[in-house]
Structure 1
Amino acid sequence: MAKITDHYEATSSAVDFRDYPLNIARSELDSDDLHLYSKKLEQISATLFVQASAQCQVELWQAGGFVGRQAEWSSKGLFLNSLRALETSWKAGLENGNTSIIIIHRKNSWSRMKILPEMFKYICSSINIHPRFLDFVFEFGRKSSSIDETFISFYKVFSFAASENTQPSSFDICYNLRYFEPHGRQLSDPWSCRQSAIHQKFYFSKGTSAWTIIHQPITFRESLQSAQSGAFSHPMVMHIRYIRSANHHWRDYLNYKSSELLSLDAIISVAKPFSEFQTDFATIQKVHSIRRKLHIAISILDGTSEVLMNLAAHADRVGELMRFSPCVCNGFRTELEQISSDIKSHKSTAQSLLKISDDIRYMSRNVLAFCNQEVDIKNGVALGQLAHAGAADSRYLATMTEETQKDSRTMRIATVIAMVYLPANLVMSFFSTGLVSFHSNEQASTTSSGVNMKIHSQVWIAIFTSLLLAAATMAAVTIWDRLGRRPLVSRLVNKLVGSFT
């Protein structure tokens, strides 16, 4: 049991509150490095706290009573936005023996705490909050993603007015809780994982407490309003209300996850042909997402159970010190046991949902495997049909090739015949023109006669014209061929350029 000096009872002023946590009093057995806490607090102060009074939202609830006496809570919370208001309303109430609750609000789970840094240090320094509470405070800064979603811890310490005293003058309890609440935004998942932290400073001599709560659960305000009047039978009774408020939505959250799994189970649990199953890899991804959140939920429930066990042990110690009646001690422990029973039930439900999700994942994988097999079989049949069609096409192409060969042989024969007749036709055409003339030459003798052939000198015109026509024809064919190939070359060049770019 660590011993630290009760700073609130030792000093009534907090002129050095800006040095927190370096200014707190503690025992020689306390080995926490305050300089590390102080350095980190200064480094991330801009991401932890708001910097303008207009953004500040610190709520104060007070009750003018103490343990064993009637308590009258204020009808509603008083909002403070400056250090002066904190000194006037909160510190003065503590000095008058009031039990107070300071609630530090946040806009959402990823935003800063709505309190000025000097106001926060003033609260911590005034009641000598142990710096281990800062381990929770550091998690309430501005964020851009969900990190460290399962860390839950519990710290407690008794304080002694002097080292020779055997009875503590006060005790500190601080812990954090994680839980799920509806966020109210239009998203696919209507639930958000929240975090809240609480610190209690209890003074044995006065029977009063100073509570500090960061980011209260939604239903905690209603719980405070319903507790406006009543007797403080136990100094830790507010923990019951706080934990019940944090656990209020657990059953609804798990029912929502159960409905998600049931909708996925309905897809694969009904017998039907594989082609009619509306499942794919996205189904396995949904199951994975649900399982991840269930694992987080189980870890949070385990952490909450540890907090309840520590609260029960601490309550027993406080009951011995304050000599409460067995009725009060048993009543407080009974409340903790009931909450613990609910937590165990929620954990059992989450574990059951994990088993169901594992079955759904297994069935989804089997359905996808059988669907793939069926697709493979269909693909095999289709490939067989394609192969059969390809074989038929090959036979048809072979037949066409054979016929083409026959036609090619015929064309070769026709070409040879044309090559034989073309020169003869050319010769006959030449001799049938006017460039060549024939005339007979009768001799004196009747026994002989002759035919004379005469080639006119203008024959060069025909030869020159033929050659010129042949040259013009070859030039036209060459130009036509190049113009025909240019689009193809252009397309090939563009395709190559596109592949490199």
Structure 2
Amino acid sequence: MGEESTEGMNDPSGERVWQIWPRDCAREDRLYTAVDGKHDSNFLSDIARDRLFCDTAKNLVTANVYTSAGAGWGRVSTSGEEFEDVQGKRSCIIRSPDDLENHLDALLLDTPAQTISYFIEPQYSWGRLQISEEVARRLFSSLPVHQQFISIVSAFGEKISPVEQSYLTYFDRIQILNPFRTFRSTDSAIFTQTCGYDLGYLYKYVDLHGRELPKDPFVIRQTGVYHKYDPQAKRSVWIFIQPSESLKERLDALFSRYKDNPVDLALQIEIHFLVLTHAAKNWRPYIKYLEDKFDKITEKGFYSNLDLEADSPGSKINFKDVREIHFFMDKLRTILQLIQMDTQIAKKVQQLLRRLRNRWVQETALNILTPRLEDVCDRFEQHLYDLSGHESRINMLIMRANDISRLVQQIIEYRTGQFSQATNSKLNGLVSNAVGQGESIHILARKGAKDTKMMKLFTIFTVIFLPGTFIASIFGTNFFAFDTDSNRLIVASNIWIYFLISCAITCSLTAGWIVYRRVKRRSRHSLEGANGKIADGAPESKV
């Protein structure tokens, strides 16, 4: 919703004139200029469009009005969304700008002191708030809400980035009855009356999510709180953004309990104490859960098997365990930061209480509240002590996790050394075996050399005696004979048969060998050609 459309709602016919929040807050604050208001208004429009507010048709704001039990209402509401729960309490659901205007008109007609609480919730944890930009600006400007409340509202809405905002948000301002009045020399006395205040903060807490996943049963949530106390108007306004159901029940019970005086000064501070202590109620069980989980991690560090040959896989650790420990430590640091933020908020509220007490003590009618204010201060001291105990437990867990992380890393290094030693031993064994095999090969080589020499000797003898043996075998056939009478060699007339058969066999063997060699060479060449084509990416030809 832009500023132009908001200004267009001004009607000279006497209807309500809406201001632009937070731009027009410059009229109430001496140090908040129109430039600041325009910048914040544009910023609100940007985040409203991107992630913060819902459409006009999805408005769902719950408003509870608490007044004195004996007081009547100034007008009878005709809205079906408005009803009176018990005497002194009225609830309504704001679904449209018309519902908001009817609600504000009813507040103007109600004469008794009022405590009003508004609950603005998202549809789901990280969804848009169920209030439109138009209704939000109108509601905040009509109360009016302090301009610094935009720092709290902007922390809600859709989660559009993987990084969650975890900054500390707090502001307070003690109201000045006439903020634009300057000191004049004619002023002879200090004008003292009961002063009001604006207070807002954003706190984070842990709560059970009730789902199967993730395995961690707790989840981090956040709630925004704004409180405006105006003693002159006898009105106390509360705005809660994304409160838990249990907190709403406790607030309703407390407001209903003190309905005879809903704007009691001490009660307003006591409600802040209730809100902050309720936010811290799950720190103790959550830290107990973290300690139990950490005990399982320490078992791996203290009782893990150092023997590489151990059969139990559950007793061994690896780099996955180191990563798990660091993830656990990161979660602890996040929780530590949240507890420290809650501690700072509690201290700031306590300081505001003391500042208000110093101002209220000047009013003689408020002296009766001093014991209750002192009691709230003492309760805050106890709350701060509990938070410091939670912080100490988290710090101790971080220190222990650091020690376990170093121990696990040392165990992994020891295991690595053992593995390296075992590997070196195996390599040394392989080298020894290789040396032995080399000696055996050397012996075999020497024997082979001796055998080669013997073969050469046998070859020489064969070359020497083979021709003689061949000649002797020829002469041992029937083709040759010796005539002893004439001492002559007689050759048979059919000796040609010997040469014919010998030549035929020799030629056949030679021809067969040549053919075999050619076929072998041709098949080898064809195989090499096919492999070359496959290597080049060409398809293999079919034969």
TM-score, normalised on structure 2?
0.74
Distance apart, 1:475 and its partner CA? 0.9
- In structure 2, the residue matched to 1:188 is 215
TM-superposed deviation, 1:419: 6.9
Q: Give the corresponding residue for 1:201.
A: 228
Per-residue Cα deviation, 1:98-125 (whole angstroms, up to 9, x for no partner): 3111111124443222211111111211
Separation of aligned partners in 2, 1:150 and 1:455: 117
1:81 aligns with 2:95: yes
Rate the CA distance shift 1:283–1:78 in 2: closer, same or farther, 3 A. Answer: farther
In 2, Cα distance between equivalents of 1:110 and 1:412: 95
Residues 49 and 115 of structure 1 are in contact (CA less than 8 Å); yes or no, is this contact kept in structure 2? no
Out of 248, 261, 267, the residue aligned to residue 221 of structure 1 is: 248
Residue of 201, 207, 216 corresponding to 1:175: 201
Counterpart among 326, 341, 347 of residue 309 in structure 1: 347
- Matched position secondary structure for 1:23: helix
The alpha carbon displacement at 1:408 in A equals: 4.4
Q: Which moved more, 1:390-399 or 1:356-365?
A: 390-399
Distance 1:131 1:396 in 2: 94
Shift of 1:254: 0.9
Distance 1:39 1:430 in 2: 125
TM-score (norm 1): 0.80
Counterparts in 2 of 1:268 and 1:169: CA distance versus 1, 3 Å: closer
Quick check: 1:289 aligned with 2:327? yes
The answer on whether the counterparts of 1:47 and 1:112 sit within 8 Å (CA) in structure 2 is: no
| Residue in structure 2 matched with residue 280 of structure 1 by the alignment | 318
Tell me the amino acid that sits aligned with residue 154 of structure 1: Y
Deviation per CA, 1:402-450: give whole Å up to 9, x if none.
Answer: 34444444555566677778889999999999xxx9799x9xx978787
Residue 10 (structure 2) aligns with: none
Q: Which residue of the other structure, out of 373, 377, 399, is the alignment partner of 2:443? A: 399
1:254-312 residue CA offsets vs partner (Å, 9 max, x unmatched): 11111111111122234864445422222222221222222222222222222222212
d(CA) in 2 for partners of 1:154, 1:308: 10
Partner of 1:257: 290
Indicate if the aligned counterparts of 1:220 and 1:245 stay in contact, CA closer than 8 A.
yes
2:426 to 382, 389, 402: 382
Summarize the Cα distance change of 1:299–1:448 in structure 2 as closer, same or farther, 3 Å threshold.
Answer: closer
Q: Give yes or no for contact 1:159–1:168 (8 Å, CA) kept in 2.
A: no
Higher alpha-carbon deviation: 196-205 or 330-339: 330-339
- Separation (CA, whole Å) in 2 of partners of 1:220 and 1:184: 17
CA 1:395/1:188 → structure 2, altered by over 3 Å: closer, same or farther? farther
- Counterpart of 1:157 in structure 2 is 173
Compute the displacement of 1:161 (Å). 5.0
| Counterparts of residues 36-185 of structure 1 (less than 5 Å) | 36-53=39-56, 55-65=58-68, 78-89=92-103, 92-93=106-107, 96=110, 97-162=113-178, 163-164=180-181, 170-185=196-211
Aligned to 1:373: 417
State the one-letter code of the partner of 2:243.
Q
Deviation of the 1:183 alpha carbon: 2.0
Alpha-carbon separation, structure 2, partners of 1:330 and 1:53? 46
Stretches of structure 2 that go unaligned for 5 or more consecutive residues are 1-13, 70-84, 182-190, 538-543
Gaps of 5+ in 1: 1-11, 496-501
Please give the alpha-carbon distance, in whole angstroms, between the structure 2 residues aligned to 1:428 and 1:371.
81
Mapped to 2, the partners of 1:148 and 1:301 lie a distance apart of 16
Match of 1:498 in 2: none
Alpha-carbon deviation of 1:223? 0.9
Contact 2:60 2:120 (C-alpha < 8 Å) held by counterparts: yes
- Between 1:468-477 and 1:44-53, the stretch displaced more is 44-53
Q: Helix, strand or coil: the match of 2:236?
A: strand
Q: Which residue of 2 aligns with 1:212?
A: 239
Percentage of pairs with the same residue: 17
Report the AA paired with residue 208 of structure 1: R
User: How far did residue 167 of structure 1 move?
Assistant: 5.0
Structure 2: distance between partners of 1:430 and 1:196: 122
SS in 1 for 2:117: strand
Aligned residues of 1:62 and 1:99 also touching (Cα < 8 A): yes
- Check conservation: 2:336, 2:391, Cα contact below 8 A: yes
What is the number of residues matched between the two proteins?
473
Counterpart of 1:294, as a letter, is L
For 1:473 and 1:154, the matched residues in 2 are separated by 100
